[in-house]
Copies of this chain bind each other. A is one copy, B any other.
Amino acid sequence: MTRTRQILFASRPRGMPTPDNFRFVETVLPPLRDGQILIKSLFLSVDPYMRGRMNEGKSYIEPFVLNEPIPAGGVGEVVESKHERFAPGDLVVGLIHWADYTLSNGEGLSKLPAIMAPIASAALGVAGMPGLTAYFGLLDIGRPRAGETVVVSGAAGAVGSVVGQIAKMQGCRVIGIAGGKDKCSYLQNELSFDATINYKDGDIRTSLDAACPNGVDVYFDNVGGDITDAVVERINFGARIVICGQISAYNLDRQDVGPRLFTYLLKNSALAKGFIVNDYRERFGEAITALSGWVMEGKLKYREHVVQGLENTVDAFLGLFRGDNIGKIVVKV
């Protein structure tokens, strides 16, 4: 019998989520049954895609269940096991609860490689779901070639910052779009982006014209909305648009309306493709090896925004939509 705090899903938001959509409870977990493990949370993830799970109805991923704990990416330590694959002391990564402890049947959990132990939280970021998302989206859909111009929006986020660095490794000219001076100087000075655009300062179209004199060959889109319109207006013949996120639309309670973009795809024989990282599940091993290798070699830098304490998880999540973060937000439980 283990006491744990849990964050439950209390109600479905309309528009922007608020703290009222969540409920903080204390409860007692039942004793382990055969095939179960008890996991103590070390790091919990908050990610933009979770906004989609707060909605009802069909999507690529099941909606959250009301009055149940919120499932999220996390790194934890196995403290008790009646499961043949896991032993007490193992570090695991995968879906656990926004809680101190999670009772799990091991589904969707992997053991963290020993080499990752000192940088365990990176398994939620640069070498985890966001890193994999950047890797497959850019390399498999974007297919950048040396000398091409790659634009990434949401560039200072967990995915965008990895996208830009991988594009640099491919010999591309990389332009990051982000909100705020600090984010832009981080991208340019620490991550070696060729240029950055602070969309909160000045006209995005003028800035894009200056930063992309040869047009745009690959656009990695995390945000949608007017920023995306402005980039798509500037694509080159044969351009590839990677639709990874549309964060500007997640909290709208009406249909998002804008210029029709198919005309630009037609004129430029261009491709646009949406994806989720699970489309590439069979190739995760290859990508994790590459990403953690680049981290070790110092080729792939990352910054984490560490929030302390389970009690601050909801606020950290809401901060994603305020644009609080540079790099990956993780909660240290």
A-to-B contact residues, CB < 8 Å: 52, 59-60, 221, 224-225, 228, 237, 243-246, 249, 255-276, 279
Contact = CB atoms under 8 A, between A and B. Distances in A.
Contacts of A243: 262, 265-266
A231 to B, nearest CB: 11
A259 B259 CA distance: 8
24 contacts: A60-B269, A224-B262, A228-B262, A243-B266, A246-B260, A249-B260, A255-B259, A256-B260, A257-B257, A257-B258, A258-B258, A258-B260, A260-B261, A261-B261, A262-B274, A264-B274, A265-B272, A266-B274, A267-B274, A268-B274, A269-B273, A269-B274, A271-B271, A271-B273
Contacts of A279: 269
Contacts of A255: 259
- Of A237, A255, A257, A266, most buried by chain B (CB within 10 Å of CB) is A266
Closest 8 CB pairs of A and B: A265-B274, A266-B274, A256-B260, A271-B273, A272-B272, A243-B266, A258-B260, A269-B275
A279 B266 CA distance: 12
A276 B269 contact: yes
A291 to B, nearest CB: 21
A256 B263 contact: yes
A249 B262 CA distance: 10
A261 B224 CA distance: 10
B268 A60 contact: yes
Contacts of A237: 60
A245 B255 CA distance: 25
Given A246-B260, A257-B259, A262-B274, 10 more contacts: A59-B267, A224-B262, A243-B266, A260-B261, A264-B274, A265-B274, A266-B274, A268-B274, A269-B274, A269-B279
A156 B228 CA distance: 34
Nearest to A249: B263
Nearest to A271: B273
A279 B271 CA distance: 13
A256 B261 CA distance: 9
A184 to B, nearest CB: 24
Nearest to A229: B260
A90 to B, nearest CB: 32
A254 to B, nearest CB: 10
Contacts of A271: 271-274
B272 A262 contact: yes
Contact of A221 (B59, B261, B262, B272): B262
Contacts of A257: 257-260
A261 B225 CA distance: 11
Nearest to A256: B260
Contacts of A60: 237, 267-269
Nearest to A141: B271
Contact of A263 (B224, B264, B268, B269): B224
B260 A224 contact: yes
